Copies of this chain bind each other. A is one copy, B any other.
Amino acid sequence: MSLPRVVIVGCGFGGLWAAQGLRKAAVELTVVDRTNHHLFTPLLYQVATAGLSAPAISAPIRHILAAQRNTTVVLGEVQALDVKKRMLQLDHGAQLAYEHLVLAPGSINHYFGNDAWAPWAPGLKTLDDALEIRARILTAFEQAEREDVPARRAAWLTFAVIGGGATGVELAGTLAEIARHTLAGEFRHIDPRKARIVLIEGSDRVLPPYPADLSHKALVQLERLGVTVWRGKRVTGVDAEGVAMGAERLQAKTVLWAAGVAASPLGQFLGAPLDRSGRVKVEPDLSVPGHPEIFVVGDLAAVDGVPAIAPAAKQMGAYVARVIRRRLQGVASAPFRYRDYGQLATIGRNAAVVVLGRLKLSGYPAWLMWLVVHIYFLINFRNRLMVLLDWAWSYWTYRRYARIIIRAPE
């Protein structure tokens, strides 16, 4: 008798927690991902800003799941999904049949219909994105050093970060630290400390999902680090020379996009209702309406009151694994309930905000908590130790380990 086939698409936090939750289940499990690694995305901005190397926040999926004997890992991208035939089509021509399907593909950069902006304002979703951003940031200072015309030099020394959410705040805060400390004294024709870091936010405050008083504290901390914050500005154009906001322009040769993500386009194969961002409006057990055999977890799932953050994806993945295990035993499951362990956003050295139920922290204590939590959750012991050493070294020396331009920016 063959075992029920379960396929998980995507091995981020949602997919990996679902896979690990099925490790002892009597199923034939296949995990499909288009990369060979699970990525600790909360620290991706550190790779982009030359604080960590790419391998420090990545672990091979095949290695993590090697001991799980019921599990096969496939490197591949889903091209099509036939919900009637219960069949996935992969990019290398293979087909994959399933009895239970878990979709955990995550989200992609989203330019609100202005895809032409993408080449000028890379977003931060993959390791490749992070290395591209790293190359652009480091190259901008080199270009400024070589440039004689003052206006062009100023444009190379102006960095625009679009979007004042967690990613934008992290990028802007770290950029300010690089300019003020890491690179200080290493150039002869420019003073990197005079670089301008402008964080552009459409609403009237940074970190909009946080309580208003923490948003204000984040703003104060950003400005103390040297970031110029522009609020209530609507970006109307991005090109090779900078950012347009209506009639206003900011001349900036380096523009980073942290303003929006959209759900993976995989949701469109389901024939189920999607929300404005393309997320699937799932049932209380995270299954797709009309398709109890398909589950959606992580950023692709629209669930009221559940934010698009790593802890939520993990909880959804673990929940769906439990639902499948129970279903195989003929037992029904209670609806998914999100447990809110709080939210943290880091801003820079000794600067962060934390909200944890009624507890609100900012500044050094928040930063310390952020540090401990992130070190703790890094995927395996070795990464944890090495990242801790990297950070301790960076903290005391202001140096940044990974200041290497491997290839010319695109």
- What residues of chain A have their CB less than 8 Å away from a CB belonging to chain B? 35-37, 53-56, 58, 60, 62-63, 66, 72-76, 92, 94, 127-128, 131, 138-139, 142, 145-146, 183, 185-189, 382, 386, 389-390, 393, 399, 401-407
Q: Is the CB of B404 within 8 A of A37?
A: yes
Q: Is the CB of A406 within 8 A of B127?
A: yes
A145 to chain B, nearest CB (A): 7
Give the CA-CA distance A142 to B74 in the complex, in Å: 8
Q: Which residues in B have their C-beta under 8 angstroms from that of A187?
A: 62
Q: Is the CB of A406 within 8 A of B128?
A: yes
Decide yes or no: A92 and B146 within 8 Å by CB, A62-B186, A187-B62, A389-B386 being known contacts.
yes
Give the CA-CA distance A35 to B408 in the complex, in Å: 9
A344 to chain B, nearest CB (A): 26
Give the CA-CA distance A263 to B61 in the complex, in Å: 41
Q: Is the CB of A75 within 8 A of B128?
A: no
Q: Is the CB of A399 within 8 A of B36?
A: no
Q: Is the CB of B188 within 8 A of A145?
A: no
Decide yes or no: A138 and B36 within 8 Å by CB, A53-B56, A146-B75 being known contacts.
yes
Q: A75-B142, A94-B146, A382-B393 given; name 4 further pairs at CB < 8 Å.
A: A53-B55, A63-B186, A66-B186, A72-B189
Q: Which residues in B have their C-beta under 8 angstroms from that of A393?
A: 382
Partner of A76, one of B66, B146, B188: B146
Give the CA-CA distance A408 to B56 in the complex, in Å: 19
Partner of A405, one of B36, B145, B188, B402: B36
Give the CA-CA distance A60 to B404 in the complex, in Å: 7
Give the CA-CA distance A41 to B75 in the complex, in Å: 31
Q: Which residues in B have their C-beta under 8 angstroms from that of A389?
A: 386, 389
